[in-house]
Homo-oligomer: A and B are copies of this chain.
Amino acid sequence: MAIITALETFDVRFPTSRTLDGSDAMNPDPDYSAAYLVLRTDRSDGLCGHGFVFTIGRGNDVQTAALSALAPMVVGRTVESVIGDLGAFARQLNGDSQLRWLGPEKGVMHMAIGAVVNAAWDMAARDSHKPLWRFIADMAPEQLVAQIDFRYLTDELSPTQALAILRTAEPFKQERIEQLLTEGYPAYTTSPGWLGYADAKMQRLTREAVQEGFRTIKLKVGESVEDDIRRCRLARETVGPDIAIAIDANQRWDVPQAIEWLRALETFNLAWIEEPTSPDDILGHAAIRRGVPSIPVSTGEHTHNRVMFKQLFQADSVDLIQIDAARVGGVNENLAILLLAAHRGVRVFPHAGGVGLCELVQHLAMADFIAISGKKEDRAIEFVDHLHEHFLEPVVIKDGRYLPPRQPGFSAEMHARSLDEYRYPDGTAWQDTPSAVKA
């Protein structure tokens, strides 16, 4: 009987603020970071589980402390009790009555729980010798429903309704697996559109993105309406009418301001406006959607749990959503969100980028295609070409599409030397850092 012997944590930060990669209207100088953990076991084959929370720098130490705070609830348990019932494991961590006060189900503690839950799924998929997308896809509908905490969801989606969605997908799973393996899954790219980039750089990267096969690109907006008009016009001129252009305001606007600003951008045939205002403002998103009906509205990368997603659907606030693999309470809660979206027929464009978010979220999108929504060609996973080299199994993009991961697990594992070199503040990457960046 194998035991989980340790929950090791690492505060890993990359000094990305030295360039302007990742700059947007709310995040001018991110240092992409990971509060990273490994679940160790005493099993003879070295079975382990990796997971992390993505942050953008300061506070990554607090996020790491939150991971450590969960160790007493995990260490000493049998491997079987965790990976044998991942639904119960996730409910136990999320349901801890004392930790719940720190959210509930939001912020630092919820993201920490999500990372530990994700590490347990990584371990379970490794144990079954399958990549996570396949591990999920191979679950029977009843098994999959058992992963989900329906608390606070039943006014929108009952276990019976979820089961019906999954059973509808069941007969098509095998052929979809084949499709996925041959076709891959559509990607879109944000790499050209960071706010800190000059026009010429944006245009060059946009042109390259289209040449590489991407059918959708995304621009950051929200600093100045004149700049945004110019950038949208230049991007549209660069890509022509057939490539989709999305924009992302990263929560910059109040509701009336969003409506006014977006009306100035209506002529560019935009695919969506992402995060026009506070991620908490369900009714605000609905008002913006009514106010600018020609631009689809989206949010989700900061939507903190399934209860918020439920309401985004109930209030008709969004045309599509982002999901994020490291924001909510782990795979289980993301499966609930994917089921809620499928129930309403809402398209999902998973959020990625940062550190390792592409590696994680591709599994969820692919499992959704096979076992839940059955859709992939009307949606796409975000792709940003940063920091993949730190992962044992980096994403593979070909002709603007994600190819399905082949290795067992959740693709979450970082190279030991990366954990070492970028460990904050004592890794070698931080030794020659000006104190202004380091503070």
Contacts and interface: CB of A to CB of B under 8 A. Distances in A.
Contacts of A111: 102
B97 A280 contact: no
A281 B156 CA distance: 12
B108 A109 contact: yes
A282 B255 contact: no
A171 interface: no
Given A107-B110, A108-B108, A311-B282, A155 B58 contact: no
A29 B97 contact: yes
A275 to B, nearest CB: 10
A107 B99 CA distance: 11
Nearest to A107: B107
Interface stretch (A193-201, A266-274, A302-310, A380-388): A302-310
A189 interface: no
Contacts of A283: 282, 311, 314-315
Contacts of A63: 102
A62 B102 contact: yes
A201 to B, nearest CB: 22
A30 interface: yes
Contacts of A302: 104
A62 B62 contact: yes
A72 interface: yes
Interface string A86-100: 000000000011111
B97 A26 contact: yes
B104 A279 contact: yes
B256 A154 contact: yes
Given A26-B97, A98-B30, A155 B105 contact: no
Given A278-B307, A307-B281, A107 B102 contact: yes
Given A108-B62, A154-B256, A155-B255, A101 B281 contact: no
A29 B101 CA distance: 12
Copies of this polypeptide in the complex: 2
A155 B284 contact: yes
Contacts of A282: 282-283, 311
B278 A99 contact: no
B155 A254 contact: yes
Contacts of A277: 152
A345 interface: no
Given A104-B279, A307-B280, A59 B152 contact: no
Contacts of A65: 61-62, 65
A355 to B, nearest CB: 12
A393 to B, nearest CB: 25
B281 A311 contact: yes
Interface of A: 26-31, 55-59, 61-63, 65-66, 69, 72, 96-112, 150-155, 251, 254-257, 277-284, 287, 302, 304-305, 307-308, 310-311, 314-315, 439
Given A63-B102, A153-B254, A280-B304, 19 more contacts: A27-B98, A27-B100, A29-B97, A30-B98, A59-B69, A62-B108, A66-B108, A72-B439, A104-B278, A104-B302, A106-B304, A108-B109, A151-B254, A152-B281, A152-B284, A155-B255, A280-B307, A282-B283, A284-B311
19 contacts: A26-B100, A55-B102, A56-B97, A56-B98, A59-B66, A62-B69, A62-B102, A62-B108, A62-B112, A72-B439, A102-B108, A104-B251, A106-B280, A151-B254, A155-B255, A281-B307, A281-B310, A282-B311, A283-B311
